[in-house]
Structure 1
């Protein structure tokens, strides 16, 4: 049993449990699409810019707007799922996402396209925030790790193969096709969820913290926007953004402590197990940004590889994650989370070091990428299982949202950080050496995440298990 703020919640699965594999299968299409559209447009930006008459600075908002909205709105959508039903909100998100995708494909100009991406991201945030909550709700501590492992495979496949799929569709069918492909897949996913996934129990609350939601949105929006433009912003404007970030965060914390039904209950983040797990996930996803963002530029600009070959090199990462995911889920049900997460982060650290030392040997670099894939899969599955097992059932939507926020915020902050670090090194060193130094700098993030994971404590399932509770 799990306690928080005087409430006691059962760790058994919810009523009418369809089974972990059926739940993951039913929700996978929505989760896949939400994550896919955060990466599928990257290789099509040049084509979009030419078609819409936009500069590269302007066309970046096609990516940035999606990332900002999906990250900022996930806590609100998770809370709505807890209050009105995770299944209901998940399905509504699929319909919003499909509609947004159609609007994106029909956009005649950049402003309409960016606005459509905002609408699309609202739907994605509804799916992403409640997808993991549904997987957790309809599983038990005995099979939850495997279910979350399969869920991580879906996310890895979407993020890893997005650029490859986007490149093929854009090259042969036009950039509009990367949005139109969402329509049949999304409709199929909606029907499958409708027929397969029951509704979750509702949290009976009479009030909703609208002000708290607005403050949290302001904080996340300002933070992600600032780190995205910090290298091109003067000091005065930077101070304004820093002030907005600080004021909105402090105001949000004060509001949540005083409000009777907060967006993020204080007891959740005060729980060292949950807060340390979320923060270590944030650092872990920041640490892989050199691979997902900087590495493609290095392969094409410095080593002269084509886009297709670059995509093939990078697919080593999602392929390994997909292979390791089920095994990592199986182990997370039998091994203490701190051991498995530390192992994964050590592997991620070794992979980064290996890539830095192997440049420019492509076969050795691929080995380093594979090691990083093993590390991320091993860490993320165990970490996700630990967080969701430690969370009270009535807050699973919120915790699911916070877990995904750690991932998207890690990518956002990491992207801004890797660009800044590389540019600093580039002023005094050649391209290849600057790339190596940047890789090694990010090793410290994986190291810090590992240290935090080592002191996370035990989840309720680990305390009750005669195997996991062994010293």
Structure 2
């Protein structure tokens, strides 16, 4: 019994290390975007692909790696993810052009997808029902720790060195994590898997559909809606999506189990998770530009301010995870989404002259709403599926989260760029000066307002999931 207890927490530590590394990288990169854009002499519509390419690759591959973990075992997928993520980080640090950096981020994202696909399933497999809410809440705290450390570490590295060091920092962490995972998971999740065949057609169709959708969102300002390129990508998206649905209903071993769509307490948490992270990443993507340009803050000061929502996530996530065990997910998730909507409405009216107190207060609201939502929502989704489908369910939850992030960044970039360009006589945003502040703020406000509307929809859907208080006998 004591040995089982020890192994349980060793596995948790291994999962926590992977979660920390991937979230640290995400938050560091967002802080660095204005500096990468300036160093490489490019614009927002290009530099957003450093984030979008990373998140889109993760979203496209999570179901594939989740299914692979069910087939071949979670240990192989998880430890391999550390190695690929580390190699991609090294390539990012050496990038000399935007294209090479974006491609390197895609490599890095392949490793991140392998880590993310397994993390919740490893926790649910390891901890008994009565401890899952607490354990996943603790994972939420680790997410918060990575997101909190990222802006601070990124700001310091940017002030002292250059943006390249935000990728170099991943290399020693990744190597150590791969070694630790290889040893620790021998004692626990070394399951051989089901050894069923992989649905390669489903994997390809899902990836094609997501890529086409995001390409349209990020290029709509340049191409216009009724252009041949836009129509071509939308048609391909529609055909690939229909093909994916048909394939999943026909194959004996589908990438995504259609039976999961019949589970209400799985489907609605997945949808609302995508909405929450879409709205959150409107803030995460746009705020560094607002703080660096109109507010005139340094990288380190920007980093310190951007840790605000994640500090709240650190303290509230374990509490909200435990709260699920008493109340279920409907109350905390509905309340959390509503609070996030209020924060976005506040940002839709903010000005550089509003002061740091207002900015930090609104970021704290966003962090509180996110922290109330995440742990209960994940626990509800993972607890609603059969044990033999937790790998694919875990990957589906992670796919929804990352797809929401992609759509949030792409939507914010689309609205901001479209507004700025139209008000600036067709000239897109590349360099900032006081003369373009009115156009900048108009684009910023509209992007935040769009995020607020998305959060209101998420609040309604969170409530509609019904009463899901856990019943442990």
Confirm or deny that 1:297 pairs with 2:285: no
| Distance apart, 1:443 and its partner CA | 1.9
- 1:3-34 deviation line (CA, Å, top 9, x unaligned): xxxxxxxxxxxx95656654332222222222
Confirm or deny that 1:242 pairs with 2:234: yes
Confirm or deny that 1:263 pairs with 2:290: no
| Distance apart, 1:260 and its partner CA | 0.7
Whether the 8 Å contact between 1:93 and 1:123 is mirrored in structure 2 is: yes
- Residue in 2 aligned with 1:9? none
| Residues 181 and 423 of structure 1: CA distance in aligned 2, closer, same or farther (over 3 Å) | closer
Whether the 8 Å contact between 1:216 and 1:252 is mirrored in structure 2 is: yes
Confirm or deny that 1:400 pairs with 2:394: yes
Q: Which of 169, 186, 200 does residue 157 from structure 2 map onto?
A: 169
- 1:312-344 deviation line (CA, Å, top 9, x unaligned): 222111111101111111111111211111121
Confirm or deny that 1:450 pairs with 2:456: no
SS at match of 1:334: helix
Confirm or deny that 1:227 pairs with 2:217: yes
| Distance apart, 1:345 and its partner CA | 1.2
For this pair of structures, how many residues does the alignment match? Answer: 450
| 1:12-27 alignment, distance < 5 Å | 16=4, 18=6, 21-27=9-15
Structure 1 gap segments, 5+ residues each: 1-14, 467-471
Larger deviation: 168-177 or 360-369? Answer: 168-177
SS at match of 1:238: helix
| Distance apart, 1:238 and its partner CA | 0.7
- Residue in 2 aligned with 1:412? 406
Whether the 8 Å contact between 1:101 and 1:182 is mirrored in structure 2 is: yes
| 1:131-170 alignment, distance < 5 Å | 131-170=119-158
Larger deviation: 290-299 or 137-146? Answer: 290-299
| Residues 122 and 385 of structure 1: CA distance in aligned 2, closer, same or farther (over 3 Å) | same
Confirm or deny that 1:102 pairs with 2:90: yes
Larger deviation: 83-92 or 295-304? Answer: 295-304
Larger deviation: 129-138 or 281-290? Answer: 281-290
SS at match of 1:40: helix
2: CA distance between counterparts of 1:291 and 1:371? 12
1: CA distance between counterparts of 2:110 and 2:464? 35
Structure 2 gap segments, 5+ residues each: 424-437
- Residue in 2 aligned with 1:5? none
Q: Which of 166, 175, 179 does residue 187 from structure 1 map onto?
A: 175
The normalised TM-score by structure 1 is 0.87
RMSD (CA atoms)? 2.7
1: CA distance between counterparts of 2:157 and 2:419? 36
SS at match of 1:264: coil
SS at match of 2:326: coil
SS at match of 1:169: helix
Confirm or deny that 1:313 pairs with 2:305: yes
| Residues 174 and 364 of structure 1: CA distance in aligned 2, closer, same or farther (over 3 Å) | closer
- Residue in 2 aligned with 1:371? 365
Confirm or deny that 1:441 pairs with 2:450: yes
Whether the 8 Å contact between 1:17 and 1:139 is mirrored in structure 2 is: no
2: CA distance between counterparts of 1:87 and 1:291? 35
Whether the 8 Å contact between 2:57 and 2:106 is mirrored in structure 1 is: yes
| Distance apart, 1:185 and its partner CA | 0.9
1: CA distance between counterparts of 2:296 and 2:77? 46
| Residues 271 and 281 of structure 1: CA distance in aligned 2, closer, same or farther (over 3 Å) | same
- Residue in 1 aligned with 2:385? 391
| Distance apart, 1:84 and its partner CA | 1.0
1: CA distance between counterparts of 2:141 and 2:324? 15
| Distance apart, 1:454 and its partner CA | 1.2
Larger deviation: 243-252 or 424-433? Answer: 424-433
Larger deviation: 119-128 or 166-175? Answer: 166-175
- 1:271-308 deviation line (CA, Å, top 9, x unaligned): 22211111111111122233212222223332333333
- Residue in 2 aligned with 1:380? 374
| Residues 170 and 441 of structure 1: CA distance in aligned 2, closer, same or farther (over 3 Å) | closer
- 1:45-94 deviation line (CA, Å, top 9, x unaligned): 56556766767655554333322212211110111111111122101111
* Structure number with higher helix proportion: 2
| Residues 437 and 97 of structure 1: CA distance in aligned 2, closer, same or farther (over 3 Å) | closer
| Distance apart, 1:232 and its partner CA | 1.8
